Every structure is written in structure tokens, then in C-alpha cells.
Structure 1
Amino acid sequence: MPSSFNVESADGYERLMGRWSKRLAPLLIDFAGLADGDRVLDVGCGTGSLAFTLEERPGLKEIAAIDYSPVFVEAATRRNTDPRIAIRQADACALPFEDNRFDRAMSLLVLHFVPEAGKAISEMRRVVRPGGMVAAAVWDHYGGMSGMRMMWDTVVMLDENALPLRRRYCFQPMMRPGEMKESFLSQGLDEVEETLLLIRMEYHSFEDYWAPIAAGEGPLGKYVAGLEPAKRKAVDAAVRAAYEAGEPDGPRSFASVAWACRGRVA
């Protein structure tokens, strides 16, 4: 099942989101828990934020990682130097592993881009042994991503064509309170808990904030790349004004919240 996330390049994704998913990965790992000897699956590894954070735990026996995007798989494979890590292209809704293969399956910032997110959770449960843990985190786009919402809310003031795109961004799967928990329960997981994880996204300047969007990365980047020149110039100027907020250009810090859920395999 393909992801709905727009990928232009691995480097562009790193600037847009990879650097922040690296900050979120340790929080998800702590929430999911680990034990020496664990075999862990990273579902939707992207450029490797979660897999390479798991790599820092020497007691893990195996780290398998999959992603649907060949761009991400190639980038993560090129970066990998740990023999415990195996990365392959695969579908989150049809995992290429036998039942009960892993002790834990984790998914970081992926389920909201999977059209059939419940099926992906079911697949994660299938490949985890009884007593093992399934855990996932997604951004709270509606209420917890102040820096990104600022972009969308600015853009829709200039172009009503962006209104349905903002709605889709804010209400992607698994983003409403309790939605992931309900899906985990519906897929037969036990002891299901949902919580919030908080990081801050810190930018050196407007260029640092806007460049990956301007290059076409992600849902907003895809929209911006398709604008005619005059409207593109107006959008660039308006988002800059929102970022600067009347002060000189420079560092800014935005609170960013993710929903996280975990459940035990019966």
C-alpha cells in the first residue's frame, strides 16, 4: 500500500522531517520498551531515524526495517554499517515476514500516511510474538504542530484551492484523540495505552525552515511547487512574514506533539 507522503529526495526529507524524527525516536523507543536479545521491526523506516537510534542499543539481536519508498530504502541502506540491521523495500500492509518473528514492531511517523492504517497495525501484530509489543507514533497535525500549521494557515488565506489540502493534512488517519488506541484495540492488541510525546523543532533562519518546502518536499511542498510564479512569490513572502512575526529573521523554536500508542500481542 503506497504512502501518501510526497518524496523528492532523501536529503530534502532530512531537512523537512528526518532531523526531527531523530529527536522523536528515543521517546517512542522508551515508550515501547526494549529488552536485551530483542528482535525489532521498524515499519516505514524512511531514512533510518528509528532504526539507527535502535542501533545504539547493543543488546538488541536484530533490527529489521522496511519502507515502501525506494528512495528511502537506498538512502538508509547506504548509511547502514551495522550487521544487525537489514533494510528492504516492502509494504506496511503486507509485511514480508512470518508470524511471531519479532519481539517488538514499531512505526515512527508513518501510519498517518498509510491509507489502510488499520491493516498495517494488523500486520505489525501478526509478525510480533505473543507477549511482544506493537508501538507507533504520528504527529498531531491539527493541534500539535504549531510550525507546520502556521504554513498551512497562511497559505489558505491567499489561495482557497489550498483549503482541501489543509483539511487533509489536519485530519489524516490516526490523528484524532483516541483514534490510534481504538485501532490498536480493534486489531486485537491488549493493554493498549495512548500518550503524547513532545519535542521542539528549532530552525536557524527562515531559509532553514522554508527551503525543503520550497524544494517540493512533503504535502505542502508538492502544492507550493505547482503554483504559478506570482502566487508562489506571494506565498513565499506571506510565510516569511508569519515566521518572522515582526522581528528580524533568525532562530525560531516550535513545539511539536505526537500521539503515541502501544499494545501487547495476546
Structure 2
Amino acid sequence: MASTFIAHGAAGYDHYMGRWSRRLAPLFLDFAGAAAGERVVDVGCGTGSLSLALVERSAVTAVEAIDFEADFVAALQARIGTHPITARQGDACSLPFADASFDRALSLLVLHFVSDAQQAAHEMRRVVRPGGIVAVSVWDTYGGMPSQRIFWDTVTAIEPSADGRRAAAMFRPATQPGDLPALLSRAGLTDARETLLTIRMEFADFEDYWQPLLTAQGNLGQFVEGLAAPIRARVTEAVRAAYLSGRPDGPRSFASVAWAARGVVPG
């Protein structure tokens, strides 16, 4: 099944979202856990933020990393070095692994972009041994991403036809309170619980905030790219004004919140 994330190359992804996932990965691992000697699968590895954090923090035996995007897999393969990571292209909804072949299945900032998040959760449960852990995380897209709300709320005030796109971006699958533990419970996991993870993302100036959108990465980028030139210019200036908020251009810092949940594969 296809991913719903709109990607245009590993370098653009790293500039747009990779820098966020690198900050979130350690907090997620604190919650998800990892133990020496474990075999772990990283579902939707992107360019490797979670896989690399995992092997740098824990003496795991092996990490199997998969992602739908071949460019992302190639980028991770170039970074593996001597780490016990194997990266391959694959589908979160049909994992290419045998039943009960891992101690832990982890997925960072992926399930809200998967075409069938419930099927992906079932697959993660399937490949983890009894007593093992499945842990997942997604952005709190409606209530926890003010840097994106600046964009969508400003754009929709200028271009009302964007309202449907805003709704789709704000209410992605599995991003509301209680969604993730319910997803894991339906997949047959026990003791499913959730928490909130918070990072801060700094931008050097407006261009550092705005430029990644122009690479057409993700839903925001695709929308900006598709605007007529006059509307795009109006949107740019309005979003710039919202970012500046009456002060000179320069650094800004935004809290960014993610939901995380974990459950146990029953024995």
C-alpha cells in the first residue's frame, strides 16, 4: 500500500522533517525502551533518525529498517557504517519478516502517513515475539504543531478553498487523544498506554522556516507549489508577517508535540 506522505528526495526530507525526527527519537526511545541483545524493526525508517539513535543508545543485536521510499532507504544505507542496521524498501502494511522474529517493533512519525494504520499495527504485532513491545508515535497535528497552524490558518484566511486541505492536515489518522492505544488494542496488544512527547524546533529566520515548504515536501509543500503565482506571493507575505509577529526577522522557537503509545504482545 502506498504512503500518503509526499516525498521528493532524501535531502529535501531531511531539511523539511528529518531535523524534527532526530530531536524526537531519543524521547521516543526513552518511552519505547530497548534492551541489549534485542532484534528491533524500525517501521518507516525515513533517512534513519530512529535506527541510528537506537544503535547509538542501546547494545541491540540488530535493527531491520524499512521504508516505502527508496531514496530514504539509500540515504540510511549510506549512513550505516559499522552499525548493526540493515535497511530495505518495504511496506508497513505487509512487513517482509516472519512471525515473532523481533523483540520490539518501533515506528516514529509514520502511522499517520500510512494508507492503513490499523493494518500496519497488526503487522507490527505479528512480527514481534510474545512478551515483546510494539511502540508507535505520531504528531499531534491539530493541537501540538503551532508552526504548521501558522501556515494553514493564514493560508485559509487568504484562500478559502484551502480549508479542506487544512482539515486533512489537522486531522490525520491516529492523531487524536486515545487513537494510538485504541489502535494497538485492536491489533491484539495488551497494556496499551500513551503519553505526550514534546520537543522545540528552532528556526534561524523566516527563510529557514519557509524554504523547506518550497521544496514541495509533504502536504504543505505540495499546496504551496500548486498555488498561482499572485496567490503564492500573498500567502508568503502573510505567513512571513505571522512568523515575525511584529518583531525583526530572526530566530523563532516552536513547541512541537507528538503522541506515543506502546503495548505488549500477549504470551
Q: Please indicate the TM-score interval, normalised by the length of the shorter structure.
A: over 0.9
* Identical residues among aligned pairs (%): 54
Q: Tell me the distance in 1 between the aligned counterparts of 2:164 and 2:108.
A: 25
1:14 Cα shift? 1.1
Q: Tell me the distance in 2 between the aligned counterparts of 1:101 and 1:247.
A: 54
User: Where does residue 148 of structure 1 map in the other structure?
Assistant: 148
User: Where does residue 165 of structure 1 map in the other structure?
Assistant: 165
**In the alignment, is residue 214 of structure 1 matched against residue 214 of structure 2?**
yes
SS in 2 for 1:243: helix
Q: Tell me the distance in 2 between the aligned counterparts of 1:116 and 1:154.
A: 30
| TM-score between the two structures when normalised by the length of structure 2 | 0.98
Letter of the 1:248 counterpart: P
Letter of the 2:87 counterpart: I
Q: How does 1:1-266 map to 2 (within 5 A)?
A: 1-266=1-266
Letter of the 1:264 counterpart: V
Q: Tell me the distance in 2 between the aligned counterparts of 1:83 and 1:202.
A: 29
Moved more, 120-129 or 79-88: 79-88
| TM-score between the two structures when normalised by the length of structure 1 | 0.98
Q: Tell me the distance in 1 between the aligned counterparts of 2:90 and 2:148.
A: 29
1:78 Cα shift? 1.6
1:15 Cα shift? 1.4
Checking the alignment, whether the CA contact within 8 Å between 1:93 and 1:123 is kept in structure 2 is: yes
Structure 2 alignment gaps of length 5 or more: none
Checking the alignment, whether the CA contact within 8 Å between 2:35 and 2:58 is kept in structure 1 is: no
Q: How well do the aligned residues superpose, as a CA RMSD in angstroms?
A: 0.9
1:82 Cα shift? 2.8
Letter of the 2:233 counterpart: K
Q: Tell me the distance in 2 between the aligned counterparts of 1:27 and 1:138.
A: 13
Moved more, 190-199 or 51-60: 51-60
Letter of the 2:176 counterpart: R
Q: Tell me the distance in 1 between the aligned counterparts of 2:162 and 2:53.
A: 36
Q: Deviations over 1:183-221 (max 9, x none)?
A: 111111011111100000111000111101022111010
Q: Tell me the distance in 2 between the aligned counterparts of 1:7 and 1:190.
A: 34
Structure 1 alignment gaps of length 5 or more: none
SS in 2 for 1:66: strand
